[in-house]
Amino acid sequence: MPPILFWFRQDLRLEDNPGLFEAAKNGEVLPVYILDDEAAGEFKMGGASRFWLHHSLKSLDASLGGKLSVFKGNSKEILKGLIAEYGIQGVYWNRCYEPFRIRDDSKIKAELQGVECKSFNGSLLWEPFGILKSDGTPYKVFTPFYRKGCLNAPSPREPLPAPSLTIIGNGVKEDLDLLPNVRWDEKFAWDIGEKQAQDRLHAFLSHGLNGYKEGRNYPDKTNVSRLSPYLHFGQISPNQVWYGAQKSSVQEGPDLDHFLSELGWREFSYSLLYHFPELPRRNFQEKFDRFPWQDNDLLLNAWKKGQTGYPIVDAGMRELWQTGYMHNRVRMIVGSFLVKNLLLHWHHGEAWFWDCLVDADLASNSASWQWVAGSGADAAPYFRIFNPILQGEKFDPEGHYTRRFVPELEKMPLKYLFNPWEAPSNVLRDANVILGSTYPKPIVSMEESRDKALEAFKTISVS
């Protein structure tokens, strides 16, 4: 059987891997991973993602008996060298949808003359070019995209089993230098790999899906799947999650429907990135090009470090730094605070999340930041400004999440936990809190910053 090179990318698994499955059917397989930072350019992986990739490749290599070949450099040149060395007759891979990958994949297919190049869908339930409005244009609003487009399209394919592989190659391992500077491997406590992704799914379906629609808003509850990094790196496929959820004990109702629609939001983000490849850098709504953003490094650094003086915001930013993850409700709170209360460009938030999130994903990150800024597709209105005091009181009602990540306020009574600057001096003293010393004073006034945001929005609302 002819040797086939299978090129692993954002599909670091054996089960339900369409490209690998087809490669195994057609020949002996040379499994390869290539880190091509030059092709990624400004969108090369951040520190937290590199930590995840490091452990992901170790896990995948073990699943392949130590025979995964790992390289760093220009993908096209490395592939050409391997084709010549092993007499490769076919190069198979699963498609990615970042603009730079689409561009480079097209060039590789064109230049690998005499070699069968085949790509497959291994990361989406529905590919972006298959979900269009009746006039052939892409959807810009989520609900019709998902309800009319996706759910009326052919059902996603059923998951595939792991293939029977005959592997060639000795498992070359180039140094990818994935753990520089910040020792992310010492910071984060994640179990990373294909089996661990399945374990996470099963735990969520058993203990988190029931009550998901409401419970997902509370960062101290277990009603979130935490599958996003596994999905991004492809240690589990959306098809496995889609059908796994439907086969769970929660057979129907609002919890299941809402969870499946969250997978739909992931699809919507990829559709936006595919059809509007400038999404990570350009405002989807052009009027925001005129928005009077501020430049203030002091405010930005206080936000990054979780030192804003608003406890729920600080808890979220510290969760991000300490775990490489942030609860989705809190992501919206800290995002709103950055762009609306601090009037700092969403690019700053997008860049910080890109470096610090283990689930950093170009489609979801850019679409979500544009959504919270008000500049994106189907975005939250700019005048919808989250009040971090009320958000904390509503979604962390016992204060467990906030006290976990802001331990300086551990003894603060719940009445003043989210607004400690309003606490009487005796309450602050009893809680061992010295504002401006042990915990910062608010870096902006909530009322004044809200008014400034609304005035700024008016400047771009006039036609």
Please list the active-site residues. Answer: 262, 265, 293, 328, 346, 369
| φ, ψ for residue 412, nearest 5 deg | -70, 130
Note the helical H segments in 152-296: 184-187, 194-207, 212-215, 228-232, 238-246, 254-275
Closest by CA to 349, choosing from 341, 338, 364, is 338
**In whole angstroms, how far apart are CA 142 and each of 378, 415, 455?**
7, 38, 28
Residue with tokens 């870096």: 443
Q: Which of 282, 300, 299, 302 is nearest to 291 (CA)?
A: 282
Residue 195, C-beta contacts closer than 8 angstroms, at least 6 positions apart = 59
Is residue 163 within 8 A of residue 60, CB to CB? The reply is no
Cβ–Cβ < 8 Å for 292, 456: yes
Q: Is the dihedral of CA 172, 177, 183, 187 positive or negative?
A: negative
Rounded CA-CA distance 162/171 in Å is 20
The answer to whether 138 and 271 are in contact (CB under 8 A) is yes
249 to 151, 200, 203, 207, 245: CA distances (angstroms): 22, 16, 12, 10, 8
| Sequence-separated (6 or more) residues with CB below 8 Å from residue 38 | 73, 74
